[in-house]
């Protein structure tokens, strides 16, 4: 068990997720940030409650982690192009991020992590679930690990943010933008070595991965389905209940997340700021 001297870290499940208290994100000391980074590496997603940050303070906190990566498909907070809006109005049915995924895997250098700042949340519902791709990988049989270590996944933005979504003309119109820029496909190893922790993790996901390189989508599907159901076993997951002023920062290289869409008729508004990542091997 790691011990911390400048922050209080409360793990929220067996494998993933911790809440950190005793900290004001407007004023973080060097030592506190060092410890926050250690907790982030260990738990994959960290939360803070009762924060009250202006948009500029959200950007300042995000920049502690690295350069901001502007999401080209989400609409932005007016005057703050670095802040993407993740929103759902009472009259809308679809939410953003409602299926298991990790952010920006359609890019050659997928995002390192994402900050989410809760501005308006329903009294009940609208939680976010997380799953750890370390434990998902570590608990596979040796034979399957051996097969996966030589495979690459094909990832795309086209089927999620592209023309076919725009043509559906559903109630994400205005929230999801730039369908013409959804032309990024790329490949990543199915098993990556995390660039900071050195641990191995699964790096395919149900939203952006189309199949394995050299395999058809159809043939890839049965193995991917097995991996997805394994990676979302309850013991690998955790669920966070938001309050206004809650802040999350998750590691896109070692976790998946899913925004639970169970609050129709209520508004939910989050600000998201995503951080640049590196090519994964
Ligand atoms: C996302 O997928 O980035 C949004 C998650 C959430 O709204 O809970």
* Dist CA 78 CA 240 (whole Å): 28
Domain assignments of the chain as residue spans, ordered by start: 8-275
Token pair in block for residue 102: 């990790």
Q: Which residues contact 239 (CB under 8 A, 6 or more apart)?
A: 127, 128, 129, 130, 260
Q: What is the pLDDT of residues 81-97, one digit of tens each?
A: 999 999 999 999 999 99
pTM over 0.85: yes
pLDDT of residue 16: 83
Question: Which protein residue has the closest C-alpha to ligand 1 atom 5?
Answer: 259
Question: Residues with Cβ within 6 A of ligand 1?
Answer: 86, 96-97, 114, 116, 128, 257, 259, 270, 272
pLDDT in tens, 29-62: 999 999 999 999 999 999 999 999 999 999 999 9
Banded model confidence at residue 184, pLDDT cuts 50, 70, 90: confident
Which ligand 1 atom is at minimum distance from the Cα of 114? Answer: 3
- For the CA of 270, the nearest atom of ligand 1: 7
Q: Distance (Å, rounded) from C-alpha 131 to C-alpha 153?
A: 19
- Domain at 8-275, CATH from 3.40.50.2300, 3.30.200.20, 1.10.3720.10, 3.60.130.10: 3.60.130.10
Average pLDDT in the chain: 95
């Amino acid at each position: 068990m790691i011990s911390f001297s400048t922050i209080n870290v409360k793990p929220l499940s067996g494998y993933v997720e911790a809440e950190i208290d005793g900290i004001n994100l407007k004023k973080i000391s060097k030592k506190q940030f060092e410890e926050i980074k250690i907790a982030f590496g260990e738990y994959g997603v960290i939360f803070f409650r009762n924060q009250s940050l202006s948009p500029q303070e959200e950007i300042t906190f995000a920049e502690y982690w690295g350069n901001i990566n502007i999401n080209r498909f989400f609409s932005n907070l007016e005057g703050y192009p670095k802040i993407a809006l993740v929103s759902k109005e009472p009259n809308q049915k679809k939410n953003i991020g409602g299926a298991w995924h990790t952010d920006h895997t359609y890019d050659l250098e997928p995002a390192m992590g994402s900050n989410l700042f809760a501005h308006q949340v329903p009294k009940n519902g609208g939680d976010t679930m997380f799953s750890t791709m370390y434990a998902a990988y570590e608990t596979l049989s040796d034979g399957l690990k051996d097969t996966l270590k030589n495979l690459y996944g094909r990832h795309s933005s086209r089927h999620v943010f592209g023309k076919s979504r725009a043509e559906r003309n559903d109630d994400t119109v205005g929230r999801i933008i730039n369908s013409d820029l959804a032309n990024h496909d790329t490949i990543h190893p199915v098993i990556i070595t995390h660039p900071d922790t050195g641990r191995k993790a699964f790096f395919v996901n149900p939203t952006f991965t189309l199949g394995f390189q050299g395999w058809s989508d159809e043939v890839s599907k049965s193995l991917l389905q097995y991996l997805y159901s394994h990676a979302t076993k309850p013991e690998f997951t955790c669920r966070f209940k938001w309050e206004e002023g809650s802040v999350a920062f998750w590691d896109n290289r070692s976790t998946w997340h899913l925004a639970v869409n169970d609050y129709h008729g209520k508004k939910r508004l989050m600000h998201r700021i995503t951080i640049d990542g590196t090519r994964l091997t």
